[in-house]
Each structure stands twice: as structure tokens, then as C-alpha cells.
């Protein structure tokens, strides 16, 4: 995110995608109380490539000692110094020119702003953990408060721009700068998790697990990650229940407490791994098709949401859920290609 520093107060100013400066407190993003500052003095805007400064004042705006003339705009760079009205004494230094992003801004405390991903865990020391997730369908942020085991939602509600949240006694304000164009980029272009097939490749000793995600001919490599073994365990349970012809609503459920015990994990470590799984799928799909729900929760139990997957252990196919589901294409050639890729990387 772009940041200016008020050289008079030494406070940072986080730029919104369309940011205004001036003396009319109710109508500007950054209020400057000075008689030489116009009610609406200047704008800084993001044009999808650069930050541009425009002066609309009576007493002028300067960048590095040069006054902006007429309707001209100037592109901002790190290190630039902006002066609003030469007699006001208010100058701002450009510290950062990164693109705008949604974030939590500290209110009356000196914490760093929190840049938000599509799926963001906010840990709490005093109360329940919180997840902030971006909904592509409504173009809005949702706050979900989870119980101590991350196994069920205590509450969930939609958030408005500039809404304040309390986290461990500190107040934070949600600042929404995301553009709709940014949120509509899907990778791959899928509408449901059922359109995806997952390939789990685990070593013979199960010390490493590699995961690929397939959508038709497009494949996304989710690499080797420690949290993939947890997902693999959930996949195996779902495959076992499918083989036993359990109803789909009953397939794959494992108690979180029992899973943590089987994996030799503390409850908090299990929670972090679940969060990492969900976040990786959200990032891989740009939050498409409710990808944060890849791990489903219900009354202290967890399961893998997808029912289309294959598990390869060493050089052998352990399970293929196409045996239990209809209309699933043959992926033998794809498996062999992934096996060769896996072997080359190890």
C-alpha cells in the first residue's frame, strides 16, 4: 500500500485509491486544519499503474519545490516531498508507492497497518480468533469469529468500509481499496470445487506430500508443504467412507481433537495448519468458487470438501475416487506426468 509521512506530526498516512486532502473535515480522507489549506485542496489517485497527484486549491501544491500548474497531474515516486500551500508548513514525504490494498488501519494506537489477503486469520490472545474473508460474489468483506478449535463459527457478519473492529482491546478500521476488476481474475476459471481434481503424491515414508490441482488441461502445482499431510489424512478418510458407500453428507468427517492426536499436534498447531490449507487454496484460485471452504467444519469435525482426488504413495496408486463417482475423466496420463515432475524435484 502507498504511504505518506506527515513531516510535521511524523504520522503515516495510508492512501486510499482515491484520496483527498483538505480543510473540510467531513469530505476529505486526510484533514488538514490550517487557514491556508482549501476545503478540498488536492487529490492523489491510483490509475491502475501509478499514483497521480492533482491540485485543486487556491494556494497551490508543490512537489519537490515545483508548483503544479493548471490541471496538470504529477506521478509520485518514493522520496518525493509534497507541500500543500507554501505558508501552511504541511509537507508529506512519499514513503511507499505500492498499489492500494484492503487493510486494517490502527485507530489511536501506533501499530502497523495490516494488509489483508483474500483470507486472513487475525489471532487473538484475549478472545476468539477471527477470520476476515473477501466474498467475490458480493464484493464485500466478512468477519467470522471462530471457536478455540477453529471447528465452528461463533458469529459471522458482513463488514462495511470504514467499519471499526475491536481486536484485543485495540480499535482497527477497515479500509477497502480493492477494485472489482482485481477480484474477477479467476485461476482457474471455475465455479465449483467439484470442477477440480486433486492429486496427492506422498513419499514412501510419508515424510513429504506434494499436491497438484487439476481443472481440465490446466494444472496448478501446490508444491510440497507440511500441511498437505493433514489434507491427505482427510482425503483418505473420505475415500474410505466412499468405498463403504456412506451417504455423501456423512463422508470424510473426522473429529478435530482425534485428528490432532493422531498427527501428534497440539490443538493450536492443528488450527494453524487448517488456516494455511484454506489460505493456500484461496490464493491459488484468487478466492474463486468459495475456495476458503476446502476444509469443511461441523460440530467439532473436519473433512475435505472435494470428493474428486487420487492418492499416489511412492510409485503406487493408493486410491482413486473415480472408482466411487460417476463422470470423472481418466487422468492416468496426467498422473504419469505429475509423477515425472515429482521425481525430478526429488
Domain identity same for 210 and 294? yes
Residues 235 and 341 occupy one common structural domain: yes
Q: What confidence category does residue 185 fall into, taking pLDDT thresholds of 50, 70 and 90?
A: very low
User: Using CA atoms, how far apart are residues 91 and 85, in angstroms rounded to an integer?
Assistant: 9
Q: Which of 183, 206, 222 is the last residue of a domain?
A: 183
Calpha distance 228→218 (Å, rounded): 20
Last residue of a domain, one of 125, 160, 183: 183
Which cell numbers hold the place of 230?
A: 493433514
- The answer to whether position 188 is within a domain reads no
Residues 336, 292, single domain; the answer is yes
- Same domain? 92 vs 146: no
pLDDT at position 184, please? 44
SS (H, E, C) 150-180: CCCEEEEEEECCCCEEEECCEEEEEECCCCH
More confident residue, 73 or 268: 73
Tell me, yes or no, whether 111 lies in a domain. Answer: yes
Contact 217, 224 (CB under 8 A): no
Calculate the average pLDDT of the chain. 84
Ranges of H-type helices in the chain = 180-183, 228-243, 256-263, 267-284, 332-345
**Cell of residue 300, nine digits:** 467439532
Same domain (yes/no): 113, 155: yes
Lowest mean pLDDT among 20-29, 143-152, 262-271, 315-324: 143-152
Verdict on whether the full-model pTM lies above 0.75: no
Residue 287 pLDDT exceeds 90: no
**165 domain residue, yes or no:** yes
Question: Do residue 208 and residue 296 come from a single domain?
Answer: yes
Structural contact between residues 338 and 317, judged by C-beta atoms closer than 8 angstroms: no
The pLDDT value given to residue 149? 55
70 band by pLDDT with thresholds 50, 70 and 90? confident
Same domain, 42 and 127: no
Residue 147 predicted with pLDDT over 70 = no
Q: What would the DSSP string read from start to end of 213-270? A: EEETTEEEEEEE-TTHHHHHHHHHHHHHHHHTT--GGGTT-EEHHHHHHHHT--HHHH
Q: How many domains does the chain have?
A: 3
Residue that finishes a domain, picked among 183, 210, 237: 183
260 within a domain of the structure (yes/no): yes
Residue 89 has pLDDT above 80, yes or no: no
What domain range includes position 36?
2-97
In a domain, 124, yes or no: yes
* Region 140-149 average pLDDT: 76
Reported as a single tens digit per residue, the pLDDT across 198-228 is: 999 999 999 999 999 988 778 889 989 899 9
Amino acid at each position: 500500500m502507498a504511504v505518506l509521512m506527515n513531516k510535521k506530526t511524523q504520522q503515516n498516512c495510508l492512501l486510499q485509491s482515491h484520496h483527498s486532502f483538505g480543510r473540510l473535515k467531513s469530505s476529505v480522507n486526510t484533514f488538514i486544519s490550517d487557514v491556508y489549506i482549501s476545503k478540498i485542496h488536492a487529490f492523489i489517485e491510483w490509475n491502475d499503474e501509478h499514483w497521480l497527484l492533482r491540485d485543486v486549491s487556491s494556494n497551490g501544491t508543490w512537489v519537490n519545490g515545483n508548483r503544479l500548474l493548471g490541471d496538470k497531474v504529477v506521478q509520485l515516486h518514493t522520496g518525493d516531498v509534497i507541500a500543500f500551500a507554501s505558508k501552511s508548513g504541511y509537507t508529506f514525504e512519499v514513503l511507499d508507492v505500492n498499489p492500494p490494498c484492503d487493510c486494517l488501519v490502527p485507530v489511536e494506537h501506533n501499530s502497523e497497518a495490516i494488509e489483508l489477503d483474500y483470507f486472513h486469520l487475525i489471532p487473538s490472545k484475549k478472545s476468539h480468533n477471527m477470520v476476515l474473508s473477501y466474498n467475490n460474489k458480493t464484493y464485500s468483506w466478512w468477519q467470522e469469529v471462530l471457536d478455540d478449535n477453529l471447528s465452528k463459527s461463533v458469529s459471522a457478519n458482513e463488514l462495511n468500509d470504514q467499519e471499526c473492529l475491536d481486536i484485543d482491546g485495540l480499535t482497527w478500521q477497515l479500509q477497502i481499496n480493492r477494485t472489482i476488476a482485481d477480484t474477477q481474475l479467476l485461476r482457474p476459471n471455475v465455479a465449483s470445487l467439484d470442477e477440480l481434481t486433486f492429486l496427492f503424491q506422498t513419499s514412501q515414508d510419508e515424510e513429504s506430500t506434494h499436491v497438484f490441482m487439476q481443472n481440465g488441461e490446466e494444472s496448478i502445482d501446490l508444491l510440497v508443504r507440511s500441511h498437505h499431510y493433514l489434507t491427505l489424512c482427510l482425503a483418505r478418510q473420505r475415500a474410505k467412507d466412499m468405498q463403504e458407500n456412506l451417504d455423501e453428507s456423512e463422508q470424510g468427517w473426522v473429529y478435530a481433537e482425534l485428528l490432532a492426536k493422531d498427527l501428534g499436534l497440539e490443538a493450536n498447531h492443528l488450527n494453524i495448519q487448517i488456516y494455511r490449507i484454506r489460505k493456500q487454496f484461496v490464493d491459488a484460485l484468487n478466492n474463486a468458487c468459495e475456495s476458503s471452504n476446502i476444509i469443511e467444519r461441523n460440530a467439532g469435525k473436519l473433512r475435505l470438501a472435494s470428493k474428486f482426488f487420487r492418492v499416489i504413495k511412492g510409485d503406487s496408486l493408493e486410491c482413486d475416487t473415480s472408482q466411487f463417482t460417476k463422470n470423472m475423466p481418466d487422468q492416468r496420463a496426467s498422473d504419469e506426468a505429475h509423477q515425472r515432475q515429482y521425481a525430478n524435484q526429488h
